[in-house]
Amino acid sequence: MRDELKKRVVKTPDGQELEIEPLRDYYCEAPPTVMPAAYSKIVEGLFNWARAESLWILGFGTGCGAIEMRPLMTPRFDAYRYGIQWRPTPRQANLFVISGYLSVKTLKRVIRSYEQMQNPKYVVGLGSCTINGGMYFDSYNTITRLDEYLPVDVYIAGCMPRPEALLSGFEELKRIIKSGKAEGANRYAENFDWYKANQKRVIQDWDMPDYNW
């Protein structure tokens, strides 16, 4: 664990001594809760339509799949016309595209970024390596199944998938959202302990709070 995360006593400028424990003090530790559907089916349908038409992707290229994101952003494939755009921070995004293999070190950052995203949120696994490890099935440093650690809504197979495949995957995600079946965030909340146990089994050096908003 890094020094700045350890429990310690600090002195304030006016001379007080404070005991701080960064992992507990700076984060809200309450686990996520299940978000109930809206009170009426029509309203929920309207919400889902709105959610499906504004997929904002977190700009975090976790693997080599990130290279096909760039053509998607530009006039040739132009994902913006489907209401898809890229945002720099997790707070502004609701879709996390895991672009390819995840090494254990990145998995840790991905979990933090995912938990900081606002509900409702969706995960798309891009590339064969998120499904079963793909080319790296025997690597000691890449996970083989993404859905053990995060709730995945859509997988896009291929190594690497073409931009058209990505667009079709996003269309599929929209269809799922509109039919009200994209309940990834709720699944994560319901099976929170199972997900955390899986994550902790893989990440050797767990120096972060269990949940961070």
Partner 1 sequence: MRQISMRELYEILKQIFPLGELTEQRSNLAFITVDRAQLRPLLLHLRDREGFTHLVLLTAVDWIEDGSFQLTYLLCDRLGQRDLGLRVMLPRDGAAMESIHDLWPTAATYQRELREMFGIAFPESPRVEEDFILEGWTGTPPYRRDFDTLKYSNETFAPRPGRETRDPEGYMKEQLYPDGN
Partner 2 sequence: MAYRPDRSQYPSRKADGSLDIDLTSGKYLKLWQGPQHPGITGNMAVELTVCGDEVVEGKTHVGYLHRGFEKLMERRTFIQCFPIVCRICVPEPDFNEYCYAVAVEELAGIEVPERAHWIRTLILEMGRINSYLMYLGGQAGALGQGVIGQWTTYVRDLMLDRFEELTGARIYHMFIMPGGVRDGLPDGFHKRMKKTLREIEKTLDDVEDVMFNNAVFKKRTVGLGYIDPALLDTYGVTGPTARAAGVAKDVRKDQPYLVYPELDFEPVVGRDSDVYTRADVRRRDLLMSVDLIRQILAKMPDEGPVMTELPNVLHWKIPRGETYVRGECSRGEYGYYLVTDGSGYPRRVNVRGPSYTHAMALLERLIVNCNISDVAALMVSLHTYPPEIER
Element (H, E) at 56: strand 55-58
Among 141, 191, 194, 200, binds partner 1 (CB under 8 A): 141
Given partner 1, partner 2, none, residue 133, with its beta carbon under 5 to 8 Å by kind, binds: partner 1
Q: Give whichever of 39 and 140 is closer to partner 1, judged by the CB atom.
A: 140
Q: Does 160 bind partner 2 (CB under 8 A)?
A: yes
Q: How far apart are CA 208 and CA 198, in angstroms?
A: 15
Should residue 108 be labelled a site residue for partner 1 when binding is judged by CB under 8 A? yes
CB of 119 to partner 1, least distance (A): 27
Q: Report what 46 binds from partner 2, partner 1, none; CB cut-off 5-8 Å by kind.
A: none
Task: Tell me which DSSP letter residue 88 carries.
Answer: S
204 contact, one of partner 1, partner 2, none, CB 5-8 Å limit per kind = partner 1
Residues 6+ apart with CB under 8 A from 172: 154
- Compute the distance between CA of residue 53 and CA of residue 49 in angstroms, rounded to an integer: 6
| 165 belongs to the binding site for partner 2 (CB under 8 A) | no
Residues 110-149 that bind partner 2 (CB under 8 A): 113, 135-136, 138-142
User: Residue 92's binding partner, choosing from partner 1, partner 2, none, with beta-carbon cut-off 5 to 8 A by kind?
Assistant: none
3-state secondary structure 96-115: EEEECCCEHHHHHHHHHHHH
What burial class does residue 150 get, using C-beta atoms within 10 Å of its C-beta: 0-12 exposed, 13-18 middle, 19+ buried?
Answer: buried
# residues contacting partner 2 (CB under 8 A): 38
